[in-house]
Structure 1
Amino acid sequence: MRFRFTASAQVAAVACATVLLAGCASTDRPSQAASAAQQAQPVQVKVFVAAMFEIGQNTGDRAGEFQHWYERYFRNAQPIAVAGALNPVYCNTDGVCGSVLGMGKVNSSASMQAIVLNPQFNFDKAYYVISGVAGTPPSRGTIGDVTWGSWLVDYDLGHRWAPEEGQPGAPVFVPRKGYEDYRRFALNPALVQAAYAMTRAVPLQDSESAQRYRMRYPDAAARKAPSVHVGTHITGDTFFHGPGLSREAQYIAKLYGADDYVATEMEAAAIALVLKRTHGTDRILSLRGSVNFDQGNPKETTQAHLDPKPGETAGGFAETVANVAVVGSTFVDTVVKNWPQWQNGVPAQR
């Protein structure tokens, strides 16, 4: 950067250099040094919203995981480019920031690390809402549900073999030693319960197509209207599917001491590891909306469920991404509005 000094500024600069006086300033007004210092001040982040994908633009078309957040908080925000991140970061004047990190563990965690290490932001007191869509087992949830993650469990870290190569009916997975510190994360129960308490009664949208689709399943949980609840989120780069792999996911959750598996997603455990190594996990929330079941109904094969005929999809995607944002924004708005009580940690709940 090249600066143009006035004559009086040049004299002042020479005087400073000659007598080595600290703190000498240019006589230009306003001070260029002060202006540069103001520009260099990092954004004090109160809440960071991490989405994984957007379908098209951030506003004005079909909504993916970020559009509702963008329209609520970032319409007037300028994009902040971050080297190493997939997409820019947006921040509003209230300290709410957000970005689309990319799908999958590597994609999302690489973006998250680039953002949290970037000097343009101060994350020392930030809360994180990892926000996106998910699948759910029909025994635990339904289309349109929104769940707060109590545990984040990595589905992939271990040893697997073909079922016919083991004992009939026995699990085909064992954890690999050495991954104990990053294959599962118990999220701050005080934070999770506070988020759940303030959002459990939030009205959720539903769709006629999702209502019809639920009736294909005999499970009581699958047939219910959408609701907000809490449970383990399983992170896997593989889009595992079918009753057998769903049981395996539940087995892994229990093997690691977590509670019931309720959502399958692709990023949260990896993002949590990045944050654990930089700012800790006490302020992480994982928020997922269920847009599909992790298996077909008893009358269809897994392959048929993965590749449905026209008109036989679940529907409810648009309603679910709206549900995620309305639930999540309830938490975000509460934290921002009551920042003096939240900045140093989760306030005691009444």
Structure 2
Amino acid sequence: MWNTSRWRSAALSALFLLGLGTSAEAAEPVKVKVFVGAMFEIGKNTGDRAGEFQNWYERYWQSAEPIAVKGALNPVYCNADGVCGAVLGMGKVSSSASMQAILLNPQLDLSQAYFIISGVAGTPPSRGTIAEVNWATWLVDYDLGHRWAPEEGKPGEPTFMPRKGYESVRLFQLNPALVSWAMKLTGDTPLKDSDSARAYRQRYPQDAARRAPFVGTGTHMTGDTFFHGPGMSEQAQYIAKLYGADDYVITEMEAAAITLVIKRTLGSDRVMSLRGAVNFDQGNPKETTLEHLDPKPGETAGGFAETVENVAVVGARMTDHIVSHWDQWQAGVPALPAQ
């Protein structure tokens, strides 16, 4: 004769185990193929003036549910193809804190992910132009040293000296093969421009500043100080060359810090830094640095909307290639095809 209590116990055990299985399946982490980190959004993620995230969001995550991550500034969005992204926050501390929280969150499996650090930036007029898009070859921390006022040193000599002990956290060479792939896949991307940006470029005598937008590479300088003026620009170039990096071409506020966090957790072979230039790091010869910092109405560079769209279009070409050829990219950056 069947024991009723034993039957009830067996049934409850089965339901309990079934519940555990369902819970485990629901908790399966998202396997991320490409993670895009932007620094700010102006308003909503869609439907208004676009900041650094909106063009990405509208391309990949319109129907995605937000994934709340404790410790991150904003939620993460993921699509069915394993492309995820979030607004990390501006500056070294906020952005890297968000990235660390996301990396450690059990809802996301980033163990094989490629990272695109995406945003706007400044550029020296001797190296770049408004609305250009640039892939980093090196990331250099603008800080982590000693500085003094020019009048307190010898005339004409640098006013920056690196501080010992920061060698492993102030300089990052990004994977050359990955940079080469990025240029191979995106170097010919048609970029948008604007009449206001075209007119603004003509204020500068440098040939580079007057160029139409293009896709290029070089060193990205990470500093919480939003530096301006030819003197600070020359110092940034001095630091880049002092550390053995390529020419300084982009000034931004987050990439070196974010890369350090990723490197300590997963390594940095799959990290990319992608920036679009929305301003020059100094005024033209007819304006002072303070005038450049506080322009009159209608005197700004223009081209912001076009630049953030250019960044997303260029970045999407890289993203879509990785995802659509995941069998080749999953284990690491593949060899470049023979020329």
- Structure-1-length-normalised TM-score: 0.93
Determine the structure 2 residue equivalent to 1:11: 9
Q: Which amino acid aligns with 1:201?
A: D
Deviation at 1:11, TM superposition (A): 1.3
**Quick one: distance in 2 between partners of 1:215 and 1:146?**
19
**Quick one: distance in 1 between partners of 2:276 and 2:101?**
26
**Quick one: distance in 2 between partners of 1:157 and 1:260?**
19
**Quick one: distance in 2 between partners of 1:332 and 1:31?**
38
SS at match of 2:218: strand
Determine the structure 1 residue equivalent to 2:49: 62
**Quick one: distance in 2 between partners of 1:176 and 1:194?**
34
Determine the structure 1 residue equivalent to 2:297: 310
**Quick one: distance in 1 between partners of 2:213 and 2:84?**
28
**Quick one: distance in 1 between partners of 2:290 and 2:134?**
27
Deviation at 1:31, TM superposition (A): 2.6
Out of 113, 122, 133, which is 1:126 matched to? Answer: 113
Q: Which amino acid aligns with 1:11?
A: S
Deviation at 1:309, TM superposition (A): 1.1
Q: Indicate the percent of aligned positions where both proteins have the same amino acid.
A: 70
Out of 90, 93, 104, which is 1:106 matched to? Answer: 93
Q: Structure 1: which 5+ runs fail to align?
A: 1-6, 15-24
**Quick one: distance in 1 between partners of 2:297 and 2:259?**
38
Q: Deviations over 1:272-322 (max 9, x none)?
A: 110111001000000000000000001110000011111111100000000
**Quick one: distance in 2 between partners of 1:180 and 1:258?**
13
**Quick one: distance in 1 between partners of 2:79 and 2:325?**
17
**Quick one: distance in 1 between partners of 2:64 and 2:230?**
44
Q: Structure 2: which 5+ runs fail to align?
A: none
Deviation at 1:27, TM superposition (A): 4.9
Determine the structure 1 residue equivalent to 2:14: 26
**Quick one: distance in 2 between partners of 1:9 and 1:175?**
74
Determine the structure 2 residue equivalent to 1:260: 247
Deviation at 1:347, TM superposition (A): 1.2
Determine the structure 1 residue equivalent to 2:220: 233
Determine the structure 2 residue equivalent to 1:21: none
**Quick one: distance in 2 between partners of 1:63 and 1:9?**
61
Determine the structure 2 residue equivalent to 1:48: 35
Q: Deviations over 1:42-76 (max 9, x none)?
A: 11010000000000000000000000000000011
Alignment of 1:181-330 (within 5 A): 181-330=168-317
Do structure 1's residue 160 and structure 2's residue 125 form an aligned pair? no
Kept in 2, the 8 Å contact 1:146–1:323? The answer is yes
Q: Which amino acid aligns with 2:193?
A: D
Determine the structure 2 residue equivalent to 1:19: none
**Quick one: distance in 2 between partners of 1:279 and 1:55?**
31
SS at match of 2:239: helix
* Number of residues of Structure 1 aligned to a counterpart in Structure 2: 333
Do structure 1's residue 93 and structure 2's residue 80 form an aligned pair? yes
**Quick one: distance in 2 between partners of 1:9 and 1:193?**
65
- Structure-2-length-normalised TM-score: 0.96
Aligned-residue Cα RMSD (Å) equals 1.4
**Quick one: distance in 2 between partners of 1:109 and 1:47?**
18
SS at match of 1:141: coil
Deviation at 1:13, TM superposition (A): 6.8
Kept in 2, the 8 Å contact 1:8–1:27? The answer is no
Q: Which amino acid aligns with 2:14?
A: S
